Amino acid sequence: MQIETPAIVCALRNHGEHGAVVRLMTPDDGLQAAYVRGARGRRMRPVLVPGNQVEARLRARTEEQLAHAEVELTHSRGPLLTEPLPAAAIEWVTALTAAVLPEAQPYPRLYAGLDAFLALIEAAPSALGWASSLVRYEMLLLAELGFGLDLERCAVTGSNDDLVAVSPRSGLAVSAAEAEPYSGKLLPLPPFVRAGGAATWDEIAQGLDLTGHFLQRDVLTGRSQALGDARSRLVERILRAGGLI
């Protein structure tokens, strides 16, 4: 097996005296795990930072063998790690991606979504400019893993008008008229989740509640469960930035 590809560094686990097993998200070959010699050395440490974009060359004798990789930095996001909120967001999305995706399965839409989200964190002047995209990335990840929400029409009437809530059990959208008797039992559906565009802080909070419910129920299970604490800390920081707590 030989792969030469651009990639996003998602996770790093020390292995042996000087090396590490690195998990890389690639556009065509999905999540790839590989051993990088000297990963903990002075030269490689700044390269293998989660969120960095790299050019990777992976080689293994068989498909089952852990690949060895040579990695060159193409774009560093290290400067963002000095800013607590962007750093927490990068840590969350890369750790989530590394923990829940099956290895070597292509997810080109997720690669593109992760790449775009990381670029937006760099470009936006504040979390208001990128937090809604975090919700969209989590929605995309749920869909790619087979847990997508059906937000196209009302679960009761079949209409696609005035959809304002989501059933926490079925993941189906509910229109305003049908949702009214169940106020407090349904999850709010902020407009930007379906229509895109900008979002207010209140709408971002609603979006994070929505994706957080289904991530916790369907994805963050077993060994991934501890990730829920990291997400809770990130959400708290986002809500503080928006003056909501």
Q: What is the CA radius of gyration of the chain?
A: 19
Do 140 and 46 belong together in one domain? no
Cα 231 → chain centroid = 10
Do 155 and 69 belong together in one domain? no
Do 129 and 235 belong together in one domain? yes
* CB-based contacts of 64, cutoff 8 Å, min separation 6: none
Do 146 and 230 belong together in one domain? yes
The pLDDT tens digits of the residues spanning 110-121 come to: 999 999 999 999
Check if the beta carbon of residue 117 is closer than 8 Å to that of residue 134: yes
Do 67 and 142 belong together in one domain? no
pTM for the whole structure: 0.95
- Determine the longest span between alpha carbons in the chain, in angstroms: 62
Question: Looking up tokens 């070959």, which residue turns up?
Answer: 29
In a domain, 203, yes or no: yes
In a domain, 119, yes or no: no
Average pLDDT over residues 157-180: 95
Last residue in a domain, options 43, 78, 113:
78
In a domain, 107, yes or no: no
Q: Which of 93, 109, 111, 108 is nearest to 8 (CA)?
A: 111
Check if the beta carbon of residue 37 is closer than 8 Å to that of residue 7: no
Do 154 and 45 belong together in one domain? no
Q: Which of 217, 229, 3, 241 is nearest to 129 (CA)?
A: 241
What pLDDT is stored for residue 184 in this prediction? 87
pLDDT band at 142 (very low <50, low <70, confident <90, very high): very high
The pLDDT tens digits of the residues spanning 71-116 come to: 999 999 999 999 999 999 999 999 999 999 999 999 999 999 999 9
In a domain, 88, yes or no: no
In a domain, 159, yes or no: yes
User: Domain of 237?
Assistant: 124-241
Sequence letter at residue 204:
I
What pLDDT is stored for residue 36 in this prediction? 97
Last residue in a domain, options 22, 57, 78:
78
The total number of structural domains that make up the chain: 2
Check if the beta carbon of residue 227 is closer than 8 Å to that of residue 98: no
In a domain, 27, yes or no: yes
